Structure 1
Amino acid sequence: MTNADPDVVRAYYDHIDAEEYDAVFSLFADDVTYDRPGQSTLDGMAEFREFYLENRPLEDGDHEINQLVADGDTVAVRGRFTGWQDGEEVAFDFADFHRFDDDGKIEARWTYTDRDEV
């Protein structure tokens, strides 16, 4: 059975770019985990919320989705981010993986980039 929903993942990037964080949080399970370069794994919604509301080094940017592939419980994304990080304009490619739980929420997320921290 496939429970990965590409539309949910597309909505994630739209909400992030629009800084609609409550909408972002609604897409994720309460026990979400998130792995990304240069930082420790986020474990649970409290840490996830704190990261996006207080600690995320990227800001004022846009995600361009170049490829999105759903398979089973996972949606893989290849894209490009352009925006700002620590007062510096940045642009870089990324690969993200979103694993869904049985309720259609994203329960795990992994980000890969060539940057030290995102």
Structure 2
Amino acid sequence: MSAEQAARRYYALVDAGDVDGVVGCFAEDAVYHRPGYAPMEGRAALAEFYGGERVIADGRHELDEVVVEGRRVAVHGRFVGTLKDGSAARVGFADFWVLDEEDRATSRRSFFDTPAV
């Protein structure tokens, strides 16, 4: 699998609601940095997030750009869906991934298009 395929697979698994599959996209000691949350370190923390803490009920990721340089992947797109409170969500995002030799994320950093300043 290529680095691009690994990244695209992650979004497909998230959109399908496959928590185990999503967590399997990460290395055992992976760290995920997401605005508004403390860094999530390790698969147990990721399973907690994707299995319940995540505020999204359902939806899909629309990817506009996937740029690969070696084991690094940058993704730009938008998420369109529904939050757990029933409200609609449409938010742009950028993700920056570092993958290991088995195409699992060792780190991920997300940014969202929201007014901040």
TM beyond 0.5: yes
Q: Once the two structures are aligned, what percentage of the paired residues are identical?
A: 37
**In 1: Cα distance, 2:64 partner to 2:10 partner:** 15
Runs of 4+ with deviation above 3 angstroms: none
How far does the alpha carbon of each residue in 1:5-31 deviate from its partner, in whole angstroms, 9 at most, with x for none?
A: 110100000010010121112221010
Cα distance, 1:97–1:4 mapped onto 2, change above 3 Å: farther
Match of 1:103 in 2: 102
Counterpart amino acid of 1:95? A
| 2:49 equivalent among 48, 51, 60 | 51
Number of residue-to-residue matches in the alignment: 114
**In 2: Cα distance, 1:66 partner to 1:7 partner:** 14
**For residues 69-80 of structure 1, what are the structure 2 equivalents within 5 Å?**
69-80=67-78
**In 2: Cα distance, 1:63 partner to 1:29 partner:** 22
Structure 1: state its 5+ residue gaps: none
Structure 2: state its 5+ residue gaps: none
User: Greater relative contact order: 1 or 2 (C-alpha under 8 angstroms, separation 6 or more)?
Assistant: 1
Counterpart amino acid of 1:107? T
Q: What's the Cα RMSD here?
A: 1.7
